[in-house]
Amino acid sequence: MATTTFTRKSLGLESTEPAVTPPAKGAQTNFAKKPKLGAGKSKKRDIPEGLWTKCPKCETMVFDKELDANLKVCPKCEFHFPISASERIHSLVETCTFEEMDAEMTSVDPLKFVDKTSYPKRVQAHQAATGLKDAVLTGICKMGEHRVALGVMDFNFIAASLGSVVGEKLTRLIERATEKELPVIIISTSGGARMQEGMLSLMQMAKTSAALAYHGQRRLPYLSMLTHPTTAGVMASYASLGDLILAEPGAMIGFAGPRVIKDTTQAELPRDFQTAEFLLDHGLIDAIVPRKEMKQRFIEYLDFLDGRPRPAAPA
Ligand SMILES: [Zn+2]
């Protein structure tokens, strides 16, 4: 027997007079008599609660499955939600072509660093929470017809800070690409240096940049994609060294935060300061690429940039 489906809608309205006399328990309502509207068969009733996400930009409630199917982009206002490294890779590479490199590389604790917790405990907690060993996944994959060396950072792992593991994995990826004559694509997001690794973290900026310089000498293309947020040491090294520097819509991109810049320069900052759109207008980045177009755009850029004559490898 059908029962009424309106119990949830009464939230916050309990004190108001019902428009019609509520039916006795178990009685059929007019609504229930409508064909194929029997409660229990309604699609809405199959949706478990707590699986909706509120878009921070347009405040629409979006069903999580719909959000996932749309690559975590709000279907109403195109707001780009954060996306994990593995989801990103799935959205970009040809199925089953991603051969991960250095999957087991993890940080050591050279400084015996302790803040609220010890550094090894912090790393372990993030490993358990994210399923990642550190803040970047690297590997060789196929994108369209192109073999590509792909690195994807994940902000969920200690704010995708640039520690020794991130720097070393990216450097090995770039060196492999140079050796195999492959283009490099790095999808960046980062809060900056890995403070717990001190100077060793800063050295990764020079190491990754040097590897890219050798890669560039061979005239191999490097595409840098900046996603929300890409800041500090990552922005000041490999993220800003792309032959093409691309960004997702609305991404916050910069070196120091706006408050620091405002305090230092004592100047009023423009409204869109440090957004992808502002930086496109001012020439720092070459194009804004919506997530749903990203794979196709990468393939088009590689069609254009790859396959040119190259100087022979140095003896
Ligand atoms: Zn939205």
Q: Ligand 1 centroid to 87 CA: how many Å?
A: 20
Q: Ligand 1 centroid to 253 CA: how many Å?
A: 21
Q: What is the pLDDT of residue 258?
A: 82
Q: Ligand 1 centroid to 62 CA: how many Å?
A: 8
* Rounded mean pLDDT, 244-264: 91
Contacts of 103 (CB under 8 A, 6+ apart): 133
Between 310 and 197, the more confident residue is 197
Residue 145 has pLDDT above 80, yes or no: yes
Ion ligand 1: residues, Cβ under 5 Å? 55, 57-58, 74, 76-77, 79
First to last CA, the chain: 83
Q: Would you say the C-alpha torsion 13, 16, 21, 22 has a positive or negative sign?
A: positive
Q: What is the pLDDT of residue 20?
A: 41
Q: Ligand 1 centroid to 79 CA: how many Å?
A: 5
Q: Ligand 1 centroid to 45 CA: how many Å?
A: 24
Q: Ligand 1 centroid to 74 CA: how many Å?
A: 5
Q: How far apart are CA 269 and CA 300, in angstroms?
A: 36
Q: Ligand 1 centroid to 57 CA: how many Å?
A: 5
- Give the CA dihedral 275, 234, 229, 220, nearest 10 degrees: 70
Q: What is the pLDDT of residue 196?
A: 94
pTM, 2 dp: 0.80
Residue 157 has pLDDT above 80, yes or no: yes
Q: Ligand 1 centroid to 128 CA: how many Å?
A: 30
Residue 25 has pLDDT above 50, yes or no: no
Backbone angles phi, psi at 90, to 5 degrees: -55, -35
Q: Ligand 1 centroid to 155 CA: how many Å?
A: 21
Q: Ligand 1 centroid to 82 CA: how many Å?
A: 13
Q: What is the pLDDT of residue 50?
A: 65
Q: Ligand 1 centroid to 78 CA: how many Å?
A: 6
Q: Ligand 1 centroid to 110 CA: how many Å?
A: 44
Q: Point out which residues pair with 287 in neighbouring strands.
A: 246
* Rounded mean pLDDT, 39-65: 74
Out of 40-44, 115-119, 262-266, which region has the weakest mean confidence (pLDDT)? 40-44
Residue 10 has pLDDT above 60, yes or no: no
Q: What is the pLDDT of residue 3?
A: 41
13, 145, 194, 299 from 223: Cα distances, Å: 54, 16, 24, 11
